[in-house]
């Protein structure tokens, strides 16, 4: 009898923890919302996915945005530079308020280098969450790939 009660307690505790974790992590829902906001070209929806004191870093560009106001300005600038930008997740992992997402960013360069050429690059974001918002985010991708695709960097051939 004691073993049965212990097992039931463990089962219910595990179920409770799993439900709390799912609620906390949203099963990747916040990640999907953020990518959809970027793809919808809606800077306000992008910013609403982040805490007031977010630190959002675009490592390739060397841009660090502290707080929603800076992030809003960054998002508006990037949306203007790539007005047809599209972000698609290829993998999402979230656990205990931390995670990463692998994605593909594509669009037309209207303002990055003003070439009017299309590009597509794979990348990844590493993030932390507080409550149901991102509190930090770091984007990693190969800027040289974009530069080659839009023609501002020539591909070097190995000797």
pLDDT of residue 155: 76
pLDDT of residue 6: 37
pLDDT single digits (tens) 126-139:
999 999 999 999 99
Asked if the model's pLDDT at residue 52 lies above 90, the reply is yes
CA separation, residue 102 to residues 73, 122, 140, 145, 158 (Å): 24, 7, 9, 16, 29
pLDDT of residue 25: 54
pLDDT of residue 27: 79
Asked if the model's pLDDT at residue 19 lies above 50, the reply is no
- CATH T-level assignment (fold) for domain 28-150: Nuclear Transport Factor 2; Chain: A, (3.10.450)
Q: What is the model's pTM?
A: 0.82
pLDDT of residue 20: 41
3-state secondary structure of 39: helix
């Amino acid at each position: 009898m004691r073993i049965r009660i212990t097992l039931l307690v463990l089962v219910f505790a595990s179920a409770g923890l799993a439900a709390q974790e799912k609620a906390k992590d949203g099963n990747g829902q916040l990640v999907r919302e953020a990518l959809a906001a970027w793809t919808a070209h809606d800077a306000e929806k992008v910013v609403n996915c982040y805490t007031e004191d977010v630190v959002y870093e675009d490592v390739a560009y060397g841009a660090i945005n502290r707080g929603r106001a800076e992030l809003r300005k960054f998002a508006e600038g990037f949306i203007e530079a790539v007005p047809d930008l599209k972000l698609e997740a290829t993998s999402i992992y979230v656990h205990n308020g931390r995670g990463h997402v692998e994605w593909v960013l594509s669009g037309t360069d209207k303002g990055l280098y003003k070439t009017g050429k299309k590009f597509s690059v794979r990348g990844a974001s590493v993030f932390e969450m507080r409550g149901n918002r991102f509190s930090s985010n770091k984007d990693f991708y190969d800027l040289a790939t974009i530069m080659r695709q839009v023609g501002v960097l020539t591909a070097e051939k190995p000797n």
